[in-house]
Amino acid sequence: MILKSEFERRLSPYMSFSRSEWAALRNGTPLPLSADELDTLVSLNDTVSMEDVADIYLPLVRLLQIYYDNACRLYQATSAFLGSGTARVPYVIGIGGSVAVGKSSTARILQALLARGPGRLRVDLITTDGFLYPNRILQERGIMHRKGFPESYDRRRLLQFMADIKSGYGPVSAPVYSHLIYDIVPDQTQVVDHPDVLIVEGLNVLQRGSNTRREPQLYVSDFFDFAIYVDADERDLEQWYIERFLRLRETAFRDPSSYFRRYAELNEEEAIATARRIWREINYINLKQNIEPTRWSADLILVKGSRHELERVYLRKL
């Protein structure tokens, strides 16, 4: 995390809310999830309480519903102005952040709450993991150790997918990724067919980069209507990654089909050392070079504390 003085200076385009200030914006929005349902949405080693949902996610869903409703009104007014009847396209929400920060939990909770809200929206969720190159291609290019870095994604295919979504085409198919086999699943796709809202979650989804070439260059974030960055102190991220690695060592890594089956036999000391090495040699570098700089392009930043609790919200001023 950035020191407070610099943090405040860098966030001048944002309004800052303490947890209690943000919670007050819930304005009586009902809580449509039970504790058992919430448990099914939270990722391994992440922690999200019912209080987090009430204090942070419900005000956020209320805000997103306002943005969505206004996007619909703008579409209707524009269609009337143009005298055209083109199909309305999905409202796209991007969610970015580091490995182990809890992006997947955030995405699934928002999907459930938006779908159960007063608008009863049809909400689909995809992760950009599906657009990683297959392992064989990463190995051929010598970048297997950089999986999750921008160059490890089939950017052309991802941009085509987003362009099709925002052009109103459908159904549109996305590849499927398995964390168990650590690779794209052959002959398996996820179909997205004209949802009201599409949530796109991934490490580098908010990235824009520096374009020094003359020709225009598109980024996946160009297709987003609203962007969220999930943030936490890098020391907490490292600790959460290690804790998750230890839990996986006792669970998924023991599956004979797991790509990481070899790690299941490590003792605790060896496992901690291995996880720390992977974090520092791969994930930390990706965080500092590619992921963390995208924080400032988000419309909303969710800041987590050391126990995964959501502590503060930053909302970009209109």
For the segment 219-231, what is each residue's pLDDT rounded down to a tens digit? 999 999 999 999 9
Full residue range of the structural domain in which residue 139 is found: 4-206+216-307
Q: Residue 95: inside a domain, yes or no? A: yes
Q: How confident is the model at residue 56 (pLDDT cuts 50, 70, 90)?
A: very high
Q: Residue 316: inside a domain, yes or no? A: no
Q: Residue 315: inside a domain, yes or no? A: no
Q: Residue 138: inside a domain, yes or no? A: yes
Query: Any idea what the CATH number is for the domain that residue 16 is in?
Result: 3.40.50.300
Q: Residue 59: inside a domain, yes or no? A: yes
For the segment 225-251, what is each residue's pLDDT rounded down to a tens digit? 999 999 999 999 999 999 999 999 999
Residue, of 101 and 117, whose pLDDT is higher: 101
For the segment 262-284, what is each residue's pLDDT rounded down to a tens digit? 999 999 999 999 999 999 999 99
Q: Residue 312: inside a domain, yes or no? A: no
Q: At which residue do the structure tokens 């409202």 appear?
A: 91
Q: Residue 313: inside a domain, yes or no? A: no
Mean pLDDT score of the chain, rounded to an integer?
92
Chain-centroid distance, C-alpha 211: 24
Q: What is the mean pLDDT of residues 251-260?
A: 94
Q: Is the pLDDT of residue 210 over 80?
A: no
Q: Is the pLDDT of residue 3 over 50?
A: no
Query: Domain count of the chain?
Result: 1
Q: Residue 317: inside a domain, yes or no? A: no
Residue, of 210 and 131, whose pLDDT is higher: 131
**Whole-structure pTM value:** 0.93
